[in-house]
Amino acid sequence: MELIFLGTGAGRPVKERNVSAIALQISQSRNFWLFDCGEGTQHQLMRTAYKLSRLDNVFITHMHGDHTFGLPGLLSSRAFLGGEEPLQLFGPQGIREWVETALKLTATRITYDIHIQEIEEGVIFENEYYAVEAAKLNHRIESFGYRVTEKPRVGRLKAELLSAMGVVSGPMCGKLKNGEDIVLPDGRTVKAAEVTEPAVPGRVVTILGDTSPCDNALLISRDADILVHEATFNASLPEKALEYGHSTTLHAAETAQRAGAKQLILTHFSTRYSAEDLPPLVDEAKSIFPFTAAAYDMMVMPIRRTKPE
Q: Are 308 and 200 in contact (CB under 8 A)?
A: yes
Is position 225 annotated in a ligand binding site?
no
Letter for the amino acid at 188? R
For residue 155, how many C-alpha atoms fall within 13 Å in the half-sphere facing its CB?
17
297 noted as active-site residue: no
Cα dihedral 273→278→283→286 (10° resolution): 100
Nearest Cα neighbor of 300 from 14, 18, 23 is 23
Is position 251 annotated in a ligand binding site?
no
Is position 56 annotated in a ligand binding site?
no
Is position 62 annotated in a ligand binding site?
yes
- Using a 10 angstrom Cβ sphere, with 0-12 exposed, 13-18 middle and 19 or more buried, the burial of residue 269 is buried
Q: Are 280 and 251 in contact (CB under 8 A)?
A: no
Is position 115 annotated in a ligand binding site?
no
Q: Which residues on neighbouring strands pair with residue 153, listed in sequence order?
A: 200
Pick the catalytic residue from 66, 113, 186, 215. Answer: 66
Residues making up the binding site: 62, 64, 66-67, 139, 210, 268
Residues making up the binding site for Zn(2+): 62, 64, 66-67, 139, 210, 268
Active site residues: 66
